[in-house]
Amino acid sequence: MREIKITESSLRYDNLVYVKNSLLDIAEQINAIINLQNYKNRSELIIRFPDEYCEIFLLEIRDRLADVIAINYKHKFFKKRIKFSGLSEIESELLITSLISADVDEDKKYAVKKLKGYQEYSLDGIFNFRMKPLKEKWKEIAGYIPPSFTKNQLKDFINYLIKDKKGKRVYIDGGKVYDKRFNLLTRNKLLSLDSGELNVVKEVLLSGAGEVELCSPVSKLEDKYLKEFYESKVFLSDGYFGL
């Protein structure tokens, strides 16, 4: 059996919960064992799996750890450094989420490269000491954000980001977001200080989707922002009408 150990500050315990939960289906298929513990200062995730699945399962593990870096760490970084006025708290979160999603795939690719070759991962340590160029990039992006932002600017900015994302569609059913293979998307859980509002919209933004298909109704607030941002790219399935 192969063993991988992942540790994180206990203040970021939810990051390891995300990693564990997102790996459970695969772990069950290959008879892997995942054990998560939260201690006073550190959280610890230990994953044991058969040697024959080593290569493919390590790819999955690094992919989830890269999610943590490219979304949770980036969210905290931007929340600390980007200060602006003109938007409500909810809209401010949407702006931060859209900034994260703008190049989340690129950030993940960089993180995956830096995560290779480890048997034991100290996530905060690896981020602080091996990903300084990523932090410099984020610092530069943060410096471009004006001190005030209007609702129209937010709409225009997200419209601009979505315009280039062609062909990728996500599906919303029962207040949850799924990809084209109907895998449940849960990246939103990596957004710290989340108020619980507009989780569907934020999940859609983080998915990098260019189109949205509603399989069932969403809340009025979610519906409002989905239509503002995605406009004609929001589609209603037959199931939306109960057919």
Q: For 136-190, write each residue's pLDDT tens digit.
A: 999 999 999 999 999 999 999 999 988 877 778 999 999 999 999 999 999 999 9
Per cent of the chain over pLDDT 90 is 86
- Four-CA torsion 178, 184, 185, 191, nearest 10 degrees: 130
Residue 171 has φ and ψ, to the nearest 5°, of -125, 135
pLDDT > 90? residue 119: no
User: If you average pLDDT over every residue of the chain, what do you get?
Assistant: 93
Q: What's the pTM value of the predicted model, to 2 decimals?
A: 0.94
Higher pLDDT, 4 or 243: 4
pLDDT of residue 197: 79
Instruction: State yes or no: pLDDT of 243 exceeds 60.
Output: no
What mean pLDDT comes out for the span 26-45?
A: 95
| Helical segments of 31-85, H only | 54-67, 74-81
Distance separating alpha carbons of residues 116 and 114, to the nearest angstrom: 6
Q: How far apart are CA 96 and CA 180, in angstroms?
A: 25
Give pLDDT tens digits for 180-235.
Answer: 999 999 999 999 655 567 999 999 999 999 999 999 999 999 999 999 999 999 99
Q: What is the pLDDT of residue 164?
A: 76
Mean pLDDT of 91-103: 94
pLDDT at 163: 83
For the segment 16-45, the average pLDDT, to the nearest whole number, is 96
**For position 196, what pLDDT does the model report?**
65
Residue 146 half-sphere exposure, CB side, CA atoms within 13 Å? 8
Please give the average per-residue pLDDT across 26-46, as a whole number.
95
Provide the pLDDT for residue 55: 92
| Structure tokens that stand for 178 in this block | 């799924």
Asked if pLDDT for residue 123 goes beyond 80, the answer is yes
